[in-house]
Amino acid sequence: MSSNADFDRWLVMCRPGFEGDTAAEMVWRLGAAGVGGHARTRDGSGLLEVFPAHGDALAWLQADILEHHVFPRQICAVSAAVEDLPASDRLTPLLEGWQRPVAEALVETGEGDGHRELGKLTQRLTGPLKGLLQERGLWRPEDSAALRLHVILDTGTRAWIGAAPQRVSSPVPGGIPRLRRQGGAPSRSALKLDEALRYMVGEDRRYMDLRSGMMAVDLGAAPGGWTWVLRQWGLGVYAIDNGAMAPGLASDPDVVHIRADAFTFEPPRRVDWLVCDLVDKPARVVELMARWLRRGWADRALFNLKLPMRRRWQAVADAEQRFFRVLGPESSKFTLTFRHLYHDREEITAYATPTA
């Protein structure tokens, strides 16, 4: 069974339709690490297998060569899928020979059309999986160094079993956070900023970097989804948009609505945060963000980039190069990370923060 074999590949989950872009990123990262490799994709599945050219795939995950990845939602090291699993007991053959202690265990499936009916099955198997691990003395939830176990269903009778360091893979199935739109939020876009603050700024850092009394600029604010989230954290906001703001925000004394062009607006003072969710070409938006930071108008920037339909990974690489080119002599003062978040859909989120 695959649980006895060395891990020779990564199983990667992404948004369906982004398999090719994710493969391009993974192969690039293997090449940049001097490893090399190739990917095998299946369009629309939300799953792909990535094969490092040499070495154990788990060891490469532990070496953090995928730090700051963009398109993957979930990553683990696996070997070949286990076929012909009996419907009466799928877990016993999957765990045959498994001897690695684990701190967590997830049962997951892809997000593509062919996998949606498996969602309930993943839920039914999660408890029994943890029970089997406990029976075998392999359940170590208190061990921060132990691996996270992943069981990924491709069909009802075919699955991969693998593992990843806890710092590398996502602790939620499929890497998909279950966030609910909060009452009072004027638009769905609030979920995008909420997710970005959780997973890009970080659960701990956001309590330090978002504080009452800080000021932010929201470019392209109307009707106010991102402004609303910032107000929940106690920030005052300059909301820049020629469109109307939601009534609750329009009457908020800590929201200054300025009807102006986002690309020509200049702030009355330096602000702590610049956020932006403009519908425009990625090149224009990333250059705008870099100009603000180069001029010292904001301490940090969190923004979305609308991606083209093709060559999305190349578009990400181009955006990064353009950002630092415009920053010029200020480049060393900032780091830039990208992430294709669940609520982003056909876009990515970028976070530019002062270098530690």
Instruction: Just list the catalytic residues.
Output: 306
User: What are the helix (H) ranges across 162-281?
Assistant: 189-196, 205-209, 225-232, 247-250
Strands (E) located in the chain: 9-13, 37-41, 47-52, 74-78, 102-109, 147-153, 159-165, 215-219, 236-240, 255-258, 271-276, 298-306, 334-339, 347-354
CA 75 – CA 52 distance, rounded (Å): 14
Strand order in the sheet with 255-258: 255-258, 236-240, 215-219, 271-276, 298-306, 347-354, 334-339
Q: In terms of Cα–Cα distance, which of 240, 247, 184 is closest to 216?
A: 240
CA-to-CA distance for 66 and 63, rounded, in angstroms?
8
- Residue position matching structure tokens 């250059």: 287
Q: In this structure, what token pair is assigned to residue 35?
A: 């490893």
Alpha helices (H) along the chain: 19-32, 57-62, 91-95, 119-135, 189-196, 205-209, 225-232, 247-250, 282-294, 312-327
Q: How far apart are CA 324 and CA 291, in angstroms?
A: 10
CA atoms within a 13 Å half-sphere pointing along the CA-CB vector of 47: 22
Strand pairing class (298-306; 347-354): antiparallel
Let me know: does 69 contact 14? Beta carbons within 8 Å.
no
Sole residue written with tokens 């990924």 = 152
Amino acid at 287: E
